[in-house]
């Protein structure tokens, strides 16, 4: 058998490296899902490990319903592009807006499949690292009471004292003790889905006709003071940041919060709630849940 010269072997290897290096290589890693009655969110890292930039593509999260012959429920994230070596981390990407009475509030979901470029728009050096699946436990959430703020006219500023309504819940916009600016329905922030409600130096007060035992919402904190009032108790308001309110009890109600800035989270309040107000200097809110159930369903 005639051996190939070492120069030929090195040249072939170099050519393969050049071909591999001239393509993008989109990869998905560290996929996980926070999935219970409180949170419905996904986290993952998206990276271009190749030697060339990738143009625009989609990331798709498919929620698969177990033992039901349905196409699944899809959340799509458009990515404008990814340079060679660039990395994007998605932490606690909220999927709770997908909760609908029509899909039984996602109670039948058994798996989340996260895929990069599912339609193969990008020609990659390696197509085998674009997909991860995560098993999901059963949840039971009464999503009929979710407020999504989609009906509000975008961009209109609601100054104190204004009264608005969304998804059957009425709210008052009130001035904070030091000052009051406005609330507005906005789009384009990395929070929730569609429209959200932006609080600029104002309180948001849902008008509760009956007591609740659980209030929760997606929240984006973009700096400044935070104000809370539960059952007439303002605690130590104003609070300087998120860490100051996580784990506190106010008005006999326990508080759990997560997220900050471009990494939004979920704020939850557990306990008998007869009145409730939340305010901030730069605070975004979406997908509010009001629950009369006394105990969380796990």
Q: Can you list the alpha helix ranges (DSSP code H) found in the chain?
A: 6-21
| Lowest model confidence (mean pLDDT) among 103-112, 225-234, 257-266 | 257-266
Task: Kindly indicate whether the domain formed by 144-291 is annotated with CATH number 1.10.1220.
Answer: no
Hey, what are 86's tokens? 């660039």
pLDDT confidence of residue 35: 93
**Cα distance between residue 108 and residue 68, in whole Å:** 8
**Cα distance between residue 172 and residue 182, in whole Å:** 11
φ, ψ at 27 (rounded to 5°): -130, 150
The highest-level CATH class for domain 6-141 is mainly beta
What is the residue extent of each domain of the chain? Answer: 6-141, 144-291
User: In terms of Cα–Cα distance, which of 229, 231, 223, 236 is closest to 280?
Assistant: 223
Given its phi and psi angles, is residue 224 left (phi above 0), alpha (psi -120 to 50 degrees) or beta? left
pLDDT confidence of residue 15: 40
pLDDT confidence of residue 294: 59
**66-95: average pLDDT:** 88
The model's pTM is 0.81
3-state secondary structure at position 21:
helix
**Cα distance between residue 89 and residue 31, in whole Å:** 10
> Residues 19-41: pLDDT tens digits?
445 899 999 999 999 998 888 99
- What length is written for the chain? 298
**Cα distance between residue 287 and residue 106, in whole Å:** 15
> Residues 44-64: pLDDT tens digits?
999 999 999 999 999 999 999
**Cα distance between residue 223 and residue 242, in whole Å:** 9
pLDDT confidence of residue 144: 77
């Amino acid at each position: 058998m005639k051996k190939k010269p070492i120069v030929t072997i090195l040249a072939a290897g170099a050519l393969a490296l050049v071909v591999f290096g001239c393509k993008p290589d989109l990869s998905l890693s560290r996929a996980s899902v926070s999935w219970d009655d409180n949170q419905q969110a996904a986290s993952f890292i998206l990276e271009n490990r190749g030697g060339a930039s990738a143009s625009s593509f989609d990331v798709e999260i498919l929620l698969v319903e177990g033992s039901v012959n349905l196409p699944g429920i899809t959340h799509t994230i458009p990515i404008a592009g990814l340079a060679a070596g660039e990395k994007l981390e998605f932490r606690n990407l909220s999927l709770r807006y997908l909760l609908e009475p029509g899909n039984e509030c996602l109670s039948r979901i058994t798996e989340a499949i996260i895929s990069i470029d599912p339609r193969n728009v990008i020609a990659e050096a390696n197509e085998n690292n674009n997909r991860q699946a995560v098993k999901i436990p059963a949840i039971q959430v009464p999503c009929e009471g979710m407020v999504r703020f989609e009906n509000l006219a975008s961009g209109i500023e609601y100054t104190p004292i204004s009264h608005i309504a969304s998804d059957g819940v009425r709210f008052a916009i009130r001035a904070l003790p030091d000052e009051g600016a406005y609330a507005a329905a906005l789009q384009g922030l990395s929070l929730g889905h569609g429209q959200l409600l932006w609080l600029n130096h104002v309180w948001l007060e849902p008008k509760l006709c009956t007591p609740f035992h659980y209030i929760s919402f997606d929240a984006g904190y973009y700096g400044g003071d935070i104000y809370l009032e539960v059952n007439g108790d303002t605690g130590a308001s104003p609070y300087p940041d998120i860490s100051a309110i996580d784990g506190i009890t106010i008005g006999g109600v326990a508080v759990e919060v997560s997220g900050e800035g471009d990494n939004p989270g979920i704020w939850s309040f557990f306990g008998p709630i007869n009145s409730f107000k939340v305010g901030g200097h730069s605070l975004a809110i979406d997908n509010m849940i009001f629950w009369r159930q006394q105990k969380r369903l796990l």
